[in-house]
Amino acid sequence: MPEFPYSRLRRWPDVEAENLQAHDATDRLLVDRAVALAAERKIDGAQIAVIGDEYGAITLALTDAGFPGIRVHQDLATGRRALARNAEELGVEGFVSHELDGGLLADARLVLLQLPKALAELEEIADAVARCAAPDAVLVAGGRVKHMTLAQNEVIGRSFAVVQPQRAERKSRLIVASEPREAPERPPFPVTAMHDGLTIVAHGGAFAGPRLDIGTRVLLEVLGLGGDAGSSSPRAENGTAPRGPVAADGGSRTVLDLGCGTGALAVSYARAHSDARVIATDRSAAAVASARATVEANGVADRVEVTHDDAASEVADASVDVVLLNPPFHLGTSVHTGAATRLFEASARVLRPGGELFTVFNSSLGYRAELGRLVGPTEQLHRTPKFTVTRSIRRP
């Protein structure tokens, strides 16, 4: 059997660069172990579930190797689109995409997992496997050694009686877990927390969990939506306070929370501006599920729409009056500013001329010049040693 052409895989529509690949050694280890276990335990493709397959390397390699019917869950919209594009390019078909639910895991006897960064996400996944998969299910989780910790073994051990770390190969390591424990009556996620009257609901894979991360808190205060900003709002460099933008036709504003996470910005804006139509979008399925639950918990479901999308690709050009943005500066485990650049470009596309982009970012990143180039005139509204908030006006 010829080797699967991993080198032909692409990350598109995710950021592509020389130091960013669409597969790694962990993908190969997981595929090799899956083939061996499937032969040993007489497992067919319909009994295999794959979680966290970033760009399709695991799913497509196994399907190509003669395991049709594999079920796959990818958290990121970019990963789902990359999988579909790579499958089409290579002529591979016969897998089925799912959310992280019973449809993904029912009767699965082998579950393959690219280890997530967050322990909370790992806990939610391990619980779901133990709760929904077959009684004799085996979970094989893998990651790069430099990103793995003993805490991951402990988290998996809450859901599986036997957890066996394997010897490292090619700077990657597998963890093989078997004998699922009886799941507790209630799943560990989502979780809920209150913040000054704002209810945040979070699944394990949502950034910052049920906490209100510092960057979001700073942006809320600058916009007068949280903390004590109402009594001491930060001012722009020219001494003016942030103004409240209005729609081009003088009607209700359309506001986009781009990369919404758990939905704190979207919900806070909707609660403060009853005349606004708010769209909250994120490329993470865990974030979208969290944001929808947060919207419901705060009673603004009639005015906030939450979508799973990549860089607002489903939002029409020049259709938005305000964009709220707290961009990431990581791509997976790599520090890379390309993710923020894509969101700046998306903001410029969806904003109407004269529309406003409010951005919060780590002060050390110095995004102001890039915002000015991609969006329009940009002023600093607030700065601390940790965070900077800017306002950019979309040029005509």
Phi, psi of 145 (to 5 degrees): -55, -40
- Mean pLDDT for 149-178 is 97
pLDDT for 18: 84
- CA separation for the pair 138, 130 (Å, rounded): 9
CA dist list (Å): 184 to 121, 209, 369 = 17, 21, 51
pLDDT confidence band for 366 (50 / 70 / 90): confident
Structure tokens belonging to residue 183: 């799941």
Distances from the Cα of 71 to the Cα of 84, 93, 100, 314, angstroms: 14, 12, 10, 26
Per-position DSSP letters for 94-151, written without gaps between them: --EE--SSHHHHTT-SEEEEEPPS-HHHHHHHHHHHHHHS-TT-EEEEEEEGGG--HH
The pLDDT value given to residue 232: 38
Question: Is the pLDDT assigned to residue 325 strictly greater than 90?
Answer: yes
* CA 302 to chain CA centroid, nearest Å: 24
Q: Is the pLDDT of residue 336 over 50?
A: no
Mean pLDDT, residues 292-318: 97
pLDDT for the residue numbered 25: 97
- Cis peptide bond upstream of 190, omega within 30: yes
CATH superfamily of 6-180: Vaccinia Virus protein VP39 (3.40.50.150)
Question: Which pTM was predicted?
Answer: 0.91
Q: Which residues pair with 391 in a beta bridge?
A: 358, 379
Write the DSSP string, 272-308. H-TT-EEEEEESBHHHHHHHHHHHHHTT-TTTEEEEE
CA distance 305 to 281: 8
Eight-state DSSP code of residue 313: T
CA atoms within 13 A on the CB side of 314: 12
DSSP letter, residue 20: B
pLDDT tens for residues 43-54?
A: 999 999 999 999
**pLDDT tens, 122-148?**
999 999 999 999 999 999 999 999 999
Residue ranges, comma separated, of all CATH 3.40.50.150 domains in the chain are 6-180, 191-393
pLDDT at 339: 82
Three-class secondary structure of residue 88 per DSSP: helix
Query: How many angstroms from the chain centroid is the CA of residue 21?
Result: 18
The H or E element containing residue 178 is strand 172-180
CA 14 to chain centre: 12
Q: What is the rounded average pLDDT for all residues in the chain? A: 92
By CB neighbour count within 10 A (0-12 exposed, 13-18 middle, 19+ buried), where does 124 fall? buried
CATH top-level class of 191-393: alpha beta
Residue 390's pLDDT is 97
Q: Is the pLDDT of residue 234 over 80?
A: no
Predicted confidence at residue 58, as pLDDT, reads: 98
CB environment 148-165: b (16+ within 10 A), e (fewer): beeebeebbeebbeebeb
pLDDT (0 to 100) of residue 243? 47
Is the pLDDT at 333 greater than 60? The verdict is no
